A and B are shown apart, each in its own frame.
Chain A
């Protein structure tokens, strides 16, 4: 039924099997939508947010998916501005992942603002002194960039491409994509940075506050750097998952090794900067504010020094080291371990910079304030993941996302046929010899 829409020469599963998969994930989407309706209907009392936690699970999810979605802007920057042509084999998928991440971030923000009818106030009555206003502006504008980058891929659908106007439009958009990629990199630099800046300027929160350069605290630069470093890890991870599910090789090893190498060097340089920042904060900033380092990692059941070790060493130094060394980078198992650790690391960094900041006692009469999200918060946070799975499934089925798919799998199929023919030849020769 839908075979006319599937890219020419591509093999896909049967429509009922595809439909069953979508229906299964769709049930999770419906669960999230039900929680979303409850929140809009009854209000933010459906969450476990309180006076301690104005920022909670949603803001962590926002920051984490924006960080891992950074693979789109960084891969686009490398492909269109630095002219690394090899990345053309993964750029479509990086853009789709970025599109899913940023649309999910906007969706979560739409749930989080509590008064959705006043959502447009942040644009119309902008507070130009707020980093969050800048985040809202850049996020919306960058989502427009991602949509523009996604459109040519949609127009390359087998049926859409038969319409002359769409064919010309897709071709022309590819021609000026460098301009959009440059605008995307500019917008990403500022909103990724400002998300970090929000934490760094909170001088009432000694766990988060940092010195910096002019109006920008060091967290501004660290957030942008970490998104560019770990974003490609997430792109590689989702590519690997898609390959496992489809049972096909979708991106060549050469492209994967190149992106992993770039990511490895970015992670290594980032983690050096992060270690320097942490040491300076622990030995200079914290004492100057009247605290000791142990204050932030003791007297509670959840946040110990282990979280610092996991974030910086296990999920920072280790993946960086694995990905910069050729022998370990080109080992599929170790590379997979590195990209999983990297993705966990950046998500954990955002957790620390949002939720541990809120948990740490600030006043002398305060105690640690731990928080467990309500099911409505969990459901609306899982909702974007389910939506992402559906969008990836639909785009993989109907759009030419991976330019190497045919070549890589056709070569494999040709090899298999060749082996089968050779085996048959050998059997015939044996039979002939036996007869003689």
Chain B
């Protein structure tokens, strides 16, 4: 799963397989991080408007 796992080999199979997997996970992670941070920022702005 990771290059530091003992059975990891730097070959095409591992690069394509895990490349695709980590690419998909990165998109999901980045997308969720963006929407959570944006929602937090907008909530804080709402709070300031009330004050």
Q: Is the CB of A165 within 8 A of B28?
A: no
With A148-B28, A183-B28: A128-B39 Cβ-Cβ less than 8 Å:
no
Chain B min CB distance to A407 (Å): 29
Using a Cβ–Cβ cut-off of 8 Å, how many residues does chain B contribute to the interface with A?
A: 25
Q: Is the CB of A176 within 8 A of B21?
A: no
A133 to B17, CA, bound (A): 10
Within 8 A of B (CB), among A91-135: 123-126, 128-129, 133-134
**Interface pick from A166-174, A266-274, A281-289, A348-356:** A166-174
Within 8 A of A (CB), among B4-29: 5, 7, 13-14, 17-18, 20-21, 24-25, 27-28
Q: Is the CB of A148 within 8 A of B17?
A: no
Chain A min CB distance to B48 (Å): 12
For A134, list chain B residues within 8 Å (CB): 17
Q: Is A358 close to B, CB under 8 A?
A: no
A125 to B1, CA, bound (A): 6
For A148, list chain B residues within 8 Å (CB): 28, 31-32
Q: Is the CB of B35 within 8 A of A141?
A: no
For A124, list chain B residues within 8 Å (CB): 1, 5
Q: Which residue of chain A has the shortest Cβ distance to B47 in the bound complex?
A: A164
Q: Is the CB of B21 within 8 A of A141?
A: yes
A186 to B24, CA, bound (A): 9
Within 8 A of B (CB), among A144-181: 144-145, 148, 164-165, 168-169, 171-173, 175-176, 179-180
Which of B27, B35, B46 has a CB less than 8 Å from the CB of A172?
B35
Number of contact residues on A: which range applies? 20 to 34
* Interface of B: prevailing SS: helix
For B47, list chain A residues within 8 Å (CB): 164
With A128-B17, A148-B32: A165-B40 Cβ-Cβ less than 8 Å:
yes
Which of A126, A165, A187 has a CB less than 8 Å from the CB of B1?
A126
For B5, list chain A residues within 8 Å (CB): 124-125
Within 8 A of B (CB), among A190-242: 190
Q: Is the CB of B42 within 8 A of A168?
A: yes
With A123-B1, A164-B46: A179-B38 Cβ-Cβ less than 8 Å:
no
Chain A min CB distance to B39 (Å): 4
Q: Is the CB of A176 within 8 A of B31?
A: yes
Q: Is the CB of B35 within 8 A of A169?
A: yes
Chain B min CB distance to A79 (Å): 17
Q: Is the CB of B17 within 8 A of A168?
A: no
Chain A min CB distance to B29 (Å): 9
For B38, list chain A residues within 8 Å (CB): 168, 172
Q: Which residue of chain B has the shortest Cβ distance to A174 in the bound complex?
A: B35
Which of A141, A171, A173 has a CB less than 8 Å from the CB of B25?
A141
For B32, list chain A residues within 8 Å (CB): 148
A148 to B32, CA, bound (A): 8
For A180, list chain B residues within 8 Å (CB): 28, 31
Chain A min CB distance to B27 (Å): 5
For B24, list chain A residues within 8 Å (CB): 141, 183, 186-187
Which of A126, A169, A179, A187 has a CB less than 8 Å from the CB of B31?
A179
A164 to B43, CA, bound (A): 6
For A175, list chain B residues within 8 Å (CB): 35
A141 to B17, CA, bound (A): 13
Q: Is the CB of A137 within 8 A of B21?
A: yes
A228 to B46, CA, bound (A): 42
For A141, list chain B residues within 8 Å (CB): 21, 24-25, 28
For B7, list chain A residues within 8 Å (CB): 125
Chain A min CB distance to B34 (Å): 7
A128 to B17, CA, bound (A): 6
Which of A125, A133, A145, A176 has a CB less than 8 Å from the CB of B35?
A176
Which of B14, B28, B35, B36 has a CB less than 8 Å from the CB of A128?
B14
A145 to B25, CA, bound (A): 10
Within 8 A of B (CB), among A363-398: none
**Sampled A-B contacts (14; CB under 8 Å):** A126-B18, A128-B14, A128-B17, A134-B17, A145-B28, A165-B40, A165-B43, A168-B43, A168-B46, A173-B35, A180-B28, A183-B27, A183-B28, A186-B24
The 5 closest A-B pairs by CB, nearest first: A168-B39, A169-B39, A172-B35, A128-B13, A128-B17
Taking A144-B28, A190-B20 as known contacts, 14 extra A-B pairs with beta carbons closer than 8 A to each other, sorted by chain A number, are: A128-B14, A129-B13, A134-B17, A141-B21, A141-B28, A164-B42, A168-B46, A169-B35, A169-B39, A172-B35, A172-B38, A173-B35, A176-B34, A180-B31
